[in-house]
Amino acid sequence: MSDVLDFSYDALPVRVVFRPGAAVSATPGEVERLGRRRVLVVCGTRGSDTARAVADALGPACVGVHDRARMHVPVEVADVAVQAARAAGADGCVAVGGGSSIGLGKAIALRTGLPLIAVPSTYSGSEMTPVWGLTEHGAKRTGRDPKVLPRSVVYDPELTLSLPVPLSVTSGINALAHAVEALYAPDTSPLVALMAEEGVRAMARALPAVAEDPTSSAARARALYGAWLCGSCLGATTMGLHHKLCHVLGGSFGLPHAETHTVVLPYVLAHNAPTAPDAAAAVARALDAADAPTALWQLAGRLGAPRSLAELGLAEADLAAAAAQTAGSAYANPRPVTADGVLAVLRAAYEGAAPAPDAR
Ligand code: NAD
């Protein structure tokens, strides 16, 4: 960080409860604190057992379980959920699950103004942000609105015990990406930098332990702690090229969210590192490594994560279109974004070799 301190920082009004078993033991209390009596629980089909356990714990304060969440929140899925909330006369919403379920809860909050409580079951970090996303006509739109920021987040490491190792790894690296981009964001600040470095450290140490023993409550808790910090960084700052690129690849080319983040991150950091040396140094410190992009690439490989966009199903013929779309709109990034620069990053990520020094 530079010697001249010059920053602004908005503390976001989210209450966080972090405790094993909290999904069932703490969610009813959080609903009551907000004075809600008729909440709708939203989830995906795969997470509906946990969501039903939360709904049971809520008893008469729950007016239904809506289990239709889908990746990237298609607008028609959001429409149906908003109708379900209105038809049930809901006065609040509890989203149980990964970023897709929380995203659907945010879509309801955006359209209805209902307060949202998030009970995350992955490490995506969405629960700590006022960022919403909706996919329509093959393109993902995102925006910020204080209405969608969960009023309360219930972190229960036990919920993540069922998250398969491959999903745990990619979801965890998705969280790392938030911290990495927060370190070079135009609105970063000393507090964000502390959270980001500690978030990277905690997650990078936890993921190998989760992979080695997915039933370890201690490893799961460390990973969720990392997710909280990384998600807080995402909520506090403006993301750059990495997130834009992943949105394009997910929204317009149908690539899976967390896996795409996992593949792309080392190459974007390699691309941005010359213009963001302090950020790259902080990531390297947290990873206890000499070179941050290489260490991120090695971490993903060691944990068996996908390492190339080709593996994720992107067609080589789509690289130029993805690069043009990514470079076609303005957003903050430490290194000026050009179609050629993005194409070089995409080509390297498509091939999946170690991030080359000449990419920098
Ligand atoms: P996800 O919510 O789609 O979950 C991935 C898969 O894991 C799903 O099949 C789900 O059913 C399953 N799953 C979730 N928790 C599980 C558990 N504990 N055990 C077993 N299976 C489980 O994926 P995600 O990576 O959490 O979230 C991705 C979405 O979130 C994307 O749409 C992304 O854009 C969004 N997101 C938004 C923000 C934001 O701030 N708005 C931040 C991060 C991610």
pLDDT tens over the chain, length 360 residues = 557 888 999 899 999 999 999 999 999 999 999 999 999 999 998 878 999 999 999 999 999 999 999 988 999 999 999 999 999 999 999 999 999 999 999 999 999 999 999 999 999 999 999 999 998 887 778 899 999 999 999 999 999 999 999 999 999 999 999 999 999 999 999 999 999 999 999 999 999 999 999 999 999 999 999 999 999 999 999 999 999 999 999 888 989 999 999 999 999 999 999 999 999 999 999 999 999 999 999 999 999 999 999 999 999 999 999 999 999 987 899 999 999 999 999 999 999 999 986 444
Class assignment of domain 15-160? alpha beta
Residue minimizing CA distance to atom 30 of ligand 1: 99
Buried b (16+ CB within 10 A) or exposed e, 184-205: bbeebbeebbebbbbbbbbbbb
Per-residue burial over 15-52, b = 16 or more CB atoms within 10 Å of its CB, e = otherwise = eebeebebbbebbbebbeebebebbbbbbbeebbebbb
**Cα-atom radius of gyration of the chain, to the nearest Å?**
19
- Dihedral sign (CA 23, 71, 73, 147): positive
Predicted TM-score (pTM) of this structure: 0.95
Per-residue pLDDT at 2: 59
pLDDT of 305 reads 97
d(CA 99, CA 20): 20
How far is the centre of ligand 1, averaged over its atoms, from the C-alpha of 246 (Å)?
A: 14
Name the burial class of residue 330, with classes exposed (0-12), middle (13-18) and buried (19+) by CB atoms within 10 angstroms of its CB.
Answer: exposed
Residues of the chain with CATH 1.20.1090.10: 165-359
Q: Which atom of ligand 1 is nearest to the CA of 167?
A: 7
The 10s digit of each residue's pLDDT in 287-303 is 999 999 999 999 999 99
How many angstroms separate the alpha carbon of residue 30 from the centre of ligand 1? 22
The H or E element spanning position 347 is helix 339-351
Angstrom distance (rounded) from CA 26 to CA 32: 10
DSSP string, 277-313: HHHHHHHHHHHTSS-HHHHHHHHHHHTT----TTTTT
User: What was the pLDDT predicted at 359?
Assistant: 47
Q: Is 230 in the pocket of ligand 1 (CB under 6 A)?
A: no
- CA atoms 259, 133, 19, 58: torsion sign: negative
CATH 3.40.50.1970 in the chain, residue ranges: 15-160
Angle between helices 292-302 and 257-272 (to 10 degrees): 160
Q: For residues 194 and 2, what is the distance between their CA atoms, to the nearest angstrom? A: 14
CATH number, domain 165-359, options 3.40.640.10, 1.10.8.60, 1.20.1090.10, 3.40.50.2300: 1.20.1090.10
pLDDT at site 360:
45
Farthest-apart Cα atoms in the chain, separation:
61
Sign of the CA dihedral 159, 46, 128, 53? negative
pLDDT, tens digit, for every residue of 257-269?
A: 999 999 999 999 9
- Give the residue whose CA is nearest to atom 28 of ligand 1: 99
Dihedral angle sign, alpha carbons of residues 135, 258, 149, 115: positive
122 DSSP assignment: S
- For residue 288, the tally of other CB atoms under 10 A from its CB is 10
Atom of ligand 1 nearest to the CA of 132: 41
Strand partners for 42:
66, 95
Question: Quick one: pLDDT at residue 48?
Answer: 87
Burial of 89 (0-12, 13-18, 19+ CB in 10 A): exposed
Q: Is 355 in the pocket of ligand 1 (CB under 6 A)?
A: no
Beta bridge partners of 132: 143
101 Cα–ligand 1 center, Å? 7
Question: Of all atoms in ligand 1, which is nearest to the CA of residue 247?
Answer: 34
- Note the pLDDT of residue 234: 97
Distance CA 251, CA 152 (A): 28
